[in-house]
Structure 1
Amino acid sequence: MALGTTAAAPVLPSPDALLGLFPPGTTTAPDGGLRIGGCHVAELAARYGTPALLIDEGALRDRAGRYADGLAARRPDSMVAFASKAFPCTAVYRLLAEEGLGADVASGGELALALAAGTDPAKVIVHGNAKSESYLRAAVEAGAGLVVIDSFDDIDRLEHVVAQVHGSGRREQAVLVRVTPDVRPDTHEAVSTGRRGSKFGLLLPQAREAIARLRTGSRLRLDGLHVHIGSQILDTEPFVRAVAAVAELGRFPVYDLGGGLGVRYTYDDRPPGIEA
């Protein structure tokens, strides 16, 4: 005689709960299938095959607008930038440029895609903790608005590139110093980038040294500070601690406070709204 247990039937989420994990405006079709952006997912799968990555243009434009409008209502001279490493796709760069957003780029390829898609170079923010000379040269020649300094090597390399590109002219490249505030948000260790030991940015003592050096140079213009503490963050409190940390370094015209606000991956996730 075999002994065993009967597994309980799984509790299925309600249709409304399921739709809450998809972009706003996602609905169910009369046949019970899923519609994203008005398109039946099964029909898209039949036409294009699977796996497929679907982007709801309307929902993306709406989200971009909420970020831009929400920040502008509180800080009129602000700018929102798309962290393009999330999805470096020409069509997405173009769409967000049309919505007035800038773009964070983290490689020469992302820079080329952003520019090809029509992103205003003045709204391009150049990132990367191992920037090559060719990458920096492409950024300077394109007129990138800001280059983020992650290390003292970045300063050396960028000063050299600016001197080569602009010769004896007095043109400067605007830069931000990336500060590591030693803040650990409640997120996965792999995407926690503001903690001590991170490969990105400079701790406060090093940041002070970089700021002092940049203020004595003639090729780079220090516009402000950058901080990014991680991704998929579902609470605003760590951002407050990061701001308090960088405030110790003084007042600057520009503060780039990164991003990392989380989205819903599970039913239990409750990310703060953009406005919050």
Structure 2
Amino acid sequence: MRAHEAGALHGDLGTRGPEWLRVPADVNALLPQLWPRHVARGTDGVLEIAGRTVRELKEEFGTPAFVLDEDDMRARCREFRDAFHDADVYYAGKAFLCKAVVRIVAEEGLFLDVCSGGELATALAAGMDPAKIGFHGNNKSVAELERAVEAGVGRIIVDSIHEIDRLTAIVRERRATQQVLIRVTAGVEAHTHEFISTAHEDQKFGFSIAGGAAYRAALKVLDEGTLELRGFHSHIGSQIFDTSGFELAARRVLELVGEIKQARDVDLPELDLGGGFGIAYTTQDDPSTPNDLAKRMRKIVEDECEAQGLVRPHLSIEPGRAIVGPAMFTLYEVGTVKDLQMRTYVSVDGGMSDNIRTALYDASYSATVAGRRSDSHPILARVVGKHCESGDIVVKDEFLPADVQPGDLLAVPGTGAYCRSMASNYNHVPRPPVVAVRGGAARVIVRRETEADLLALDVG
């Protein structure tokens, strides 16, 4: 949603959008904070990414398509790695994972988080060092745990008493060793959507600190002696801009560390404060830089350890969205345009099958006509998909040029995280490809699905 300081509040166009949405002075303008770093408009108004135009990409790869600025993603990996130089940075693979992304993460010096057997299989197939993999999940199967132990996964984040028992039996049977962290719920209400807030008490993840379950789980692991307890893991939610939640979570987790120290005279050497760092989807979002996050989180841990007389644990974090989210956009083609009383509906050739977040989380996105320049005035539009659902909305409110028409290319930024990874075949629509662009060269890293792929699973 392209705000502009010189714009006036919408109202002179006969309809009204959200109060914060302002009419842009130029519908062709791109706000840098919303787009991959190597995206710009050419003199003809056509979007270019790392030396390739969206027209060229459409001709070669079709639409819809996810387009990744590979050098942007690599730079974000390095920025987190360098800012948290005294910590371990785990890329959260659930944001978006494929073999090419695994290799990018490894080449840029990051660790990797997985949370399913499929994500683990992808990581191993891409050659990721198992010792640099962390395995999450609230209901890992016995087969998944066995594979993780046999592969030599560096750490498993245990999430229940049942999992502790299962993993203990597996490790004993194999006479192996396995480092674990215990996932805890710190009772923090993150200021985000309820479905992506994960540290309050009434949800499925982790052991409650307040209820004593986390303390009892830690003693169980220590007293049984089979698993090597390294510390605790806390994740308060996603798309978070305020570090106060991390401060409260760290305080409560480190108080628990102090209780374990007092009970068993053990200094737990690690602390994982998770990820969930927010990115800019619209002009209303103001994300922190990796350097700012590192300074604040380092100070939080240092202050709490000093206050409680604890040895400072080795810190780890888990950015996913903050690395891949801004580095990708989705390229669509407009199919139909309907002018209604409230707004204009612009239908594209994708929708909720490639971006469920608007329907699921009421998420907000931005959009721009990408294949040309327009001199038309702005109109309030809603970008919708091709699926048989009235909730099939990609961008709820955006100002697009009044001459938007069938055949136009439309680009939606900020779609690198949780769009392709949560994509579906709803209405039997094949999922789009992911195209990585770097130095003027474009390559498919996840190919487009075909109807043959859909039918291959249908055994009749």
State the distance in 1 between where 2:130 and 2:25 align. 45
Letter in 2 for 1:36: I
Q: Is the 8 A contact 1:180 1:198 kept in 2?
A: no
Q: Is the 8 A contact 2:192 2:238 kept in 1?
A: yes
Q: How far is 1:12 from its partner?
A: 2.4
1:194-205 aligned within 5 A: 194-204=199-209, 205=212
> Cα–Cα, structure 1 residues 43 and 175, in superposed 2: closer, same or farther, change >3 Å?
same
> If you compute each CA radius of gyration, which structure gives the higher value, 1 or 2?
2
- Greater percentage in helix: 1
2:67 — aligned with what? 54
Provide, for residues 128-158 of structure 1, a one-character-per-residue CA deviation record: whole Å limited to 9, x for no partner.
0000000000100000000001110110110
State the distance in 2 between where 1:36 and 1:198 align. 41
State the distance in 2 between where 1:191 and 1:36 align. 31
Q: Name which of 230, 237, 254 aligns with 2:270.
A: 254
2:146 maps to 1:143: no
2:119 maps to 1:110: yes
Q: Is the 8 A contact 1:225 1:254 kept in 2?
A: yes
| Deviating more after overlay: 184-193 vs 21-30 | 21-30
State the distance in 2 between where 1:67 and 1:245 align. 25
Q: How far is 1:49 from its partner?
A: 1.0
State the distance in 1 between where 2:205 and 2:186 align. 11
Q: How far is 1:218 from its partner?
A: 2.7
- CA RMSD across the alignment: 1.7
State the distance in 2 between where 1:269 and 1:58 align. 23
1:215 — aligned with what? 222
1:1-276 aligned within 5 A: 7=14, 11-12=23-24, 14=26, 17-72=30-85, 75=86, 78-166=87-175, 171-204=176-209, 205-250=212-257, 251-276=267-292
Structure 1 segments unaligned to the other structure (5+ residues): none
State the distance in 1 between where 2:188 and 2:156 align. 23
Q: Is the 8 A contact 2:30 2:40 kept in 1?
A: no
Q: How far is 1:41 from its partner?
A: 1.8
Provide, for residues 81-133 of structure 1, a one-character-per-residue CA deviation record: whole Å limited to 9, x for no partner.
11001112111011111111111100011001111112111110010000000
Q: How far is 1:198 from its partner?
A: 1.7
State the distance in 2 between where 1:153 and 1:106 align. 17
Letter in 2 for 1:134: A
Q: Is the 8 A contact 1:223 1:253 kept in 2?
A: yes
Letter in 1 for 2:215: R
Q: How far is 1:38 from its partner?
A: 2.8
State the distance in 2 between where 1:28 and 1:22 align. 11
> Cα–Cα, structure 1 residues 13 and 225, in superposed 2: closer, same or farther, change >3 Å?
farther
Letter in 2 for 1:242: A
Q: How far is 1:18 from its partner?
A: 3.0
- Greater percentage in strand: 2
Q: How far is 1:13 from its partner?
A: 5.9
Letter in 2 for 1:116: A
State the distance in 2 between where 1:129 and 1:111 align. 15
Provide, for residues 141-191 of structure 1, a one-character-per-residue CA deviation record: whole Å limited to 9, x for no partner.
00000000111011011011112233xxxx321000001001111111110
Q: How far is 1:20 from its partner?
A: 2.5
State the distance in 1 between where 2:215 and 2:256 align. 7
State the distance in 2 between where 1:6 and 1:34 align. 27
Q: Number of aligned pairs? A: 264
State the distance in 2 between where 1:258 and 1:136 align. 21
